[in-house]
Structure 1
Amino acid sequence: METLARLEQVILQRRKCDPETSYVALLKREGRPCMARKLGEEAVEAVVAALSGSDEELVGEAADVLFHLMVLLADRDIALADVLAELDRREGVSGIEEKASREESHAD
């Protein structure tokens, strides 16, 4: 997790850089819809790599997904620690039970 914590700090710093020299700053300038689309594109590429690519391709696409997710989280001022806390909360809970509890809370 140290790698993700370092990446989070780099993303936060680079959001303030010149968009001509920083991809993170460029994404920030282009706005949240662009960030969301890019995350979606990377997720689709990860799915394709999972189904028909090599392990190395999937690893690269997974890294892209994590990076773009973290850029989007930073844009929403959501800390990585918040996501990790949610994963901790779900630990030991059946995925089926956890999904059902989310569906119940949305029905209210």
Structure 2
Amino acid sequence: MNNSPNDGDVFAQLDAALAKRRTADPAQSYTAALYAGGVTAITDKISEESAEVVEAAHGDDHHLIHEVADLWFHCMVLLQSRGLDSAAVQSELARRFGVSGHVEKAARSGGDTAQD
């Protein structure tokens, strides 16, 4: 049986699956074990996956895609651990869409971009 999403928003479907794993048995679920380890366990994994993305950036495209998927997955686990989901990140990206990165950064820091 293939449990892969076949239509719709894969992020929303993954959010739902990750939410269910919050109450799963950590001995039976990798994701539940991450939740059980708390933010430190999750962020340690994100650090590891981030380094793997950087390394994969110098290799073939398939490996890079694989590592970015791992990183995004673990970031989504972190969001879920905080009661958030990918829709919150999508909303933030939508808010920034069409805004210069320099302007957006200055608005967040409250400062002039020349100083950033």
Q: Does TM, normalized by the shorter one, top 0.5?
A: yes
Structure 1 moving runs of 4+ over 3 Å: none
2:72 partner amino acid: L
1:49 partner amino acid: A
Question: CA–CA distance in 2 between the matches of 1:34 and 1:79?
Answer: 18
Find the partner of 2:18 among 4, 11, 33: 11
Q: Which residue of 2 aligns with 1:46?
A: 53
Please provide the CA RMSD for this pair. Answer: 1.3
State the shift of 1:78 in Å: 1.3
* Count of residue pairs brought into register by the alignment: 104
Question: CA–CA distance in 2 between the matches of 1:96 and 1:41?
Answer: 29
Aligned to 2:110, the other structure's residue is in SS state helix
Find the partner of 2:103 among 93, 97, 100: 97
Q: Which structure has the bigger radius of gyration?
A: 2
Matching of residue 67 in structure 1 with residue 73 in structure 2: yes
State the shift of 1:83 in Å: 1.1
State the shift of 1:37 in Å: 1.2
State the shift of 1:79 in Å: 2.3
Matching of residue 28 in structure 1 with residue 35 in structure 2: yes
CA offsets 1:3-56 (integer angstroms, 9 cap, x no match): 111111110001211111101100011111110111111011101111x22111
- Identify unmatched segments of 5+ residues in structure 2: 1-7, 112-116
Calculate percent identity across the aligned residue pairs: 43
> Which deviates the most, 66-75 or 91-100?
91-100
- Identify unmatched segments of 5+ residues in structure 1: none
TM superposition score normalised by structure 1:
0.90
Which structure has the highest helix share of the two?
1
